[in-house]
Amino acid sequence: MADTVTKTITADILERDAQHHTGLWQPDVVFVRGEGVNLWDAEGKHYLDCMAGIAVASVGHANERLANAISEQARKLIVCPQNLGNDVRADLTDKLFQFVPKPLNRVFFASSGSEINEAALKWARAATGRSKFVAAKRGFSGRTMGSLSLTWEKKYREPFEPMRYETTFIRYNDVDELAEAITDETAAVFLEPVQGEGGIHPATQEFLEAARALTHERGALLIFDEVQSGAGRTGTFLASENYGIVPDMTTMAKGLGGGVPIGALLMTDEVAAAMPKGGHGTTFGGNPLAAAAALAVLEEFETRDLLNHVKDVGHHLRKGILELNHPLIRDVRGVGLMIGVELKKKVAPYVAALRDAGVLTINAGATVIRLVPPLIISKAEADEVVKRLKHALETA
């Protein structure tokens, strides 16, 4: 009896959860509310959220326009698969292609990053008649059996081998290795323009230009995985726009629905036409609820000039961290609000100290602290993050 009285709300929630969850994770904190860049845990402690559900909460928590769009749509129509027409999905598609560069002109919707990458794999096979892929070391493209074939980390792959697709992994930004790997059996080269999970590494201009030229030359497709870097994260709608290079397909998910699950596969007319009728599909993809959410996110981009804001505040945040001139920091890199702070030590204790100091972040590999806050973060909030980062670096 005494135990139940003294038990914290957090302990109670986590204990109930642990009765039935799979044990994949052992969380020690419970979040119950958010607003903008702010989060509160079950004990009432406040955090600045620089994780955003891993680059998902693009327009901030409890965003008014997004919340209204979802609740209004829920009262109108939630279910309408892509084999039937829907007004909100048509509105979303119109708006989406105001942001997407030509010749990408067609879209297939799904509900997650891995699922949209699975669709890209199938389209690549349909369009080329080939089934081998080239991807990059440190790359991450998901954990379903097809997308896992493109994910580099051994710990994710090895327990589930053999992989579905034969993939050659090359060193990211190494043009020579890329040139050697693409053969006349390659269906597609699959690359993140800015590697996320692998440590926030932007591609070089030369590397992406070579990828475009070599794939053209050898009859393979170029696919950009922008599940993390897309939807405004880098200050352009797609990170590939920073390079002026247009692939045959781009996948996006995370930030597009502001937290409501949606993934989009963008492709050229030619690639779209290669899939046999009925050759792919999904029950939930592009349902009106998700479409209303993504439409609200894109409207926020327009009305708040968010892409320019991301460039501006991203630069401000990176500059603030660089100006700390901290001896523990090896490198600060990234584009827009996709920022990696590489330390000279393993980051786990520093990520924990930051959380104690009220800033939620996540690592990207062993030595990189990843900052992917909501795109609406203000300069004053960014300054506060820098201040608390300095404190965490000094106290961990």
Interface contacts to ligand PLP, rule CB under 6 A: 54, 112-114, 117, 140-142, 192, 196-197, 225, 227-228, 253
Structure tokens at 218: 């050898």
Q: Which pairing describes strands 46-49 and 362-363: parallel, antiparallel, or unpaired?
A: unpaired
* Least distance from ligand PLP to the Cβ atom of residue 140, Å: 5
Nearer Cβ to ligand PLP, position 118 or 248?
118
Nearer Cβ to ligand PLP, position 123 or 386?
123
* Least distance from ligand PLP to the Cβ atom of residue 51, Å: 12
Nearer Cβ to ligand PLP, position 114 or 149?
114
* Least distance from ligand PLP to the Cβ atom of residue 52, Å: 12
Nearer Cβ to ligand PLP, position 337 or 393?
337
* Least distance from ligand PLP to the Cβ atom of residue 141, Å: 5
* Least distance from ligand PLP to the Cβ atom of residue 112, Å: 4
Q: Under 8 Å CB-to-CB from 195, ≥6 apart: which residues?
A: 136, 138, 139, 140, 172, 201, 202, 203
* Least distance from ligand PLP to the Cβ atom of residue 54, Å: 6
With vertex at residue 187, the alpha carbon angle to CA 234 and CA 214, rounded to the nearest 5 degrees, is 65
Structure tokens at 308: 């320019």
Nearer Cβ to ligand PLP, position 227 or 249?
227
Nearest residue to ligand PLP, by Cβ distance, number only: 113
* Least distance from ligand PLP to the Cβ atom of residue 192, Å: 5
Nearer Cβ to ligand PLP, position 54 or 328?
54
Q: Under 8 Å CB-to-CB from 23, ≥6 apart: which residues?
A: none
What residues pair up with 108 in beta bridges, in sequence order? 265
Q: Under a CB-based contact definition with an 8 Å cutoff, are residues 361 and 50 in contact?
A: yes
Nearer Cβ to ligand PLP, position 225 or 248?
225
Burial label for 299, CB within 10 Å (0-12, 13-18, 19+), is middle
Q: Under a CB-based contact definition with an 8 Å cutoff, are residues 189 and 178 in contact?
A: yes
Identify each DSSP E strand in the chain by its residue range.
Answer: 31-35, 38-41, 46-49, 106-110, 132-136, 167-170, 186-191, 194-195, 201-202, 221-225, 249-252, 263-267, 329-335, 338-343, 359-360, 362-363, 368-371
